[in-house]
Structure 1
Amino acid sequence: MIGRTLATYFASRFVRAILIVFGFSCAIIWLFDFLELFRRTADAKAFSAGGIALISLFRVPSIAEQVLPFATLFGAIAAFLGLSRNLELVVARAAGISVWQFIAPALVVAVTLGAIGTTLWNPIAAGLKDRAEEQLYELTGRDKRLNPIASTSDVWLRQDGPNGESVIRARQSLDQGARLGDVTVMSFDRQGRFRARIDAREAVFADGAWVLSQALVRSED
């Protein structure tokens, strides 16, 4: 069996290579995301380069989460190339260590990173993404020309109530769906007849009901 010292050495080489690739990927993601947000929000009244940089930083973990498997792959390849270039793999093979034995540390590192990404990175990334979207929404408001979030697919909900059903469409979803931005509500009675249209800047779900702010009601009456 491969010795603990050698296994730790190989594992450290894999971790270092993966972190370098992943860190470089995160830096590239942040740079391009910052430039895009900067371009889209430069006309906002509350525009701030530092604020945009922070928002972009909050968005990076959720985007980088999709890059982690590729960073692990290319980091492992880079680590193996480095070990081979330095003839360390040749020495290990000459010492009687099989291929599967010096691959084992890489497998352990990959499984560990996968577990960390699922249990720790994912919840943190989701929380930071919600915070970034909230700050970006506060910065740009209803202006869909400036807010990249508004260009995503609309959110549609069907809500039943004591007086009939309502269909809710929202341009933005914040706080994991508990807060909606740029909302349009189409209200119907129990017989399915149209009753009113409500346009609101924001809808917050509280105490089992949607609370609308800055709402404009257009009724058939």
Structure 2
Amino acid sequence: MNMFKYFDRYLGRTVFIGTLFALFVLFAIDSIIDFINDIESVDDRGFTFGHVILRLLFEMPQRLYEFMPTALLLGALIGLGGLAAKSELVALRSVGISKLRIIWSVLKVGIVLIGISVWVGEMVVPTAQGYANSLSKSQVRDVNTDGGKGDIKKISLRSKYGIWVRDNDRYINAQEIYPDYRMRDVWIYELDEYYKLKRASFAKQAVYENNVWKLSSIKHSLISKSGVETVAAEEEHWERLVSTELFDVITVKPEYMGAIKLKKYIGYLNDNELDSKRYQLAYFNRFAVPLSGLAMLLLAVPFVFRSVRAGGLGQRIALGIGIAVIFNLISKVLSNTSVVYDIPPVVGAFLPTLIVIAVATLALRKMA
């Protein structure tokens, strides 16, 4: 039994090292491409070399999450393929290590690495990607809050209390801000010429439609020497509140949101009879992406035992990249198709992974 555990650790360590190597290569290639694209914008509207580096760092968690399935595939092909090329897998089989045990040893490593990537995707990516977006064009403080019709305004930093925007004598705080020009739980504070609070307003939501902001379930508190007067309205239309440019800079796309936040927002959209397919697709992808990592590992094993045994490192990497490119292409096509042609989002999210699992299962059953 101890011998089998030793072989489990040996196989797991081999795949783990191969996966780390693949992640490093994927990180390096993608970062270099982004660096070259961003470096051309240095000195444009205050965008500096430091912003380029910071943005790359903030995008690393998302890269880890996105690249993990491909890295697992490459890691298995590199690691197990290297063992096969040196006939070590044959030696393991000769001492009683079954192919099922080899597969399980590989999957255990995959489960651990996928667990780490899921934690990063849920807990780190949304916040980090928000900061990365704020650095992708210029410093957040340079965003024009009146839609380009007036002077440059400033907004303060993001915090756990939401987004703060300053527009002349108004300070606006939104607890939730979404890419479709929608904000929830919006506070608007207006000051007089002596910088004293004269009115505080709260709106349950604010939506930008037809060049106006529609504020619903709004309540105003008018502050004067005589006291506080409260006025409520079902809906109000404001010509100016927050620039739509702000959404391009600091909002996090559905693909980068955590599953809990996506689920909450989908419920909100459905309750208000609004289109939620894009967010449903992103929600189901939060589960399909980790599953695709395990599917890639399963797919790598029969290739190792069959066609990669005599191949070199370059051949194994080329094979893995080819499989990953085809998989990602199919995933993108099905995702876009599901949104455009009213296909259930769960199908668009899971079908590519299920195809890989089916192919891997058939290949594993045909293994000698």
Letter paired with 1:90: V
Structure-2 change in CA distance of 1:184 and 1:18 (3 Å): farther
Matched, 1:155 2:181: yes
Matched with 1:8 is 9
* Unmatched 5+ stretches in structure 1: 145-151, 171-182, 204-221
Match of 1:30 in 2: 31
Distance 1:153 1:68 in 2: 26
2:185 touches 2:202 (CA, 8 Å); kept in 1? no
- Quick one: which amino acid aligns to residue 118 of structure 2? T
Per the alignment, in what secondary structure is the counterpart of residue 123 of structure 1? Answer: helix
**1:21, 1:74 within 8 Å by CA — same for their partners in 2?**
yes
Q: CA deviation at 1:89?
A: 0.5
Q: Do the aligned partners of 1:30 and 1:57 also contact (CA within 8 Å) in 2?
A: no
**Aligned with 1:185: secondary structure?**
strand
Answering whether residue 74 of structure 2 is matched by residue 74 of structure 1, we say yes
User: In structure 2, the residue corresponding to 1:47 is in which secondary structure?
Assistant: coil
Structure 1 or 2: more strand by fraction = 1
Taking structure 2 as the reference length, the TM-score comes to 0.42
Distance in 2, matches of 1:118 and 1:165, equals 32
Deviation at 1:127, TM superposition (A): 2.5
Q: Do the aligned partners of 1:62 and 1:122 also contact (CA within 8 Å) in 2? A: no
Instruction: Quote the RMSD (CA, aligned, Å).
Output: 3.6
Residue 197 in 1 paired to residue 214 in 2? no
Cα distance, 1:18–1:186 mapped onto 2, change above 3 Å? same
What is the number of equivalent residue pairs in this alignment?
A: 182
Give % identity.
Answer: 20
Q: Counterpart of 1:66 in structure 2: which amino acid?
A: E
Contact kept, 8 Å, 1:168 with 1:186, in 2: the verdict is: yes
Matches of 1:76 and 1:26, distance apart in 2: 18
Structure 2 equivalent of residue 44 of structure 1 = 44
TM-score (norm 1): 0.66
- Is contact 2:59-2:132 (8 Å) kept? yes
- Paired residues for 1:110-125 under 5 Å: 110-120=110-120, 122-125=122-125
Q: Is the 8 A contact 2:182 2:205 kept in 1?
A: no
| Compared CA separation, residues 169 and 59, structure 1 to 2 (3 A) | farther
Q: Residue 90 of structure 1: SS of its match in structure 2? A: helix
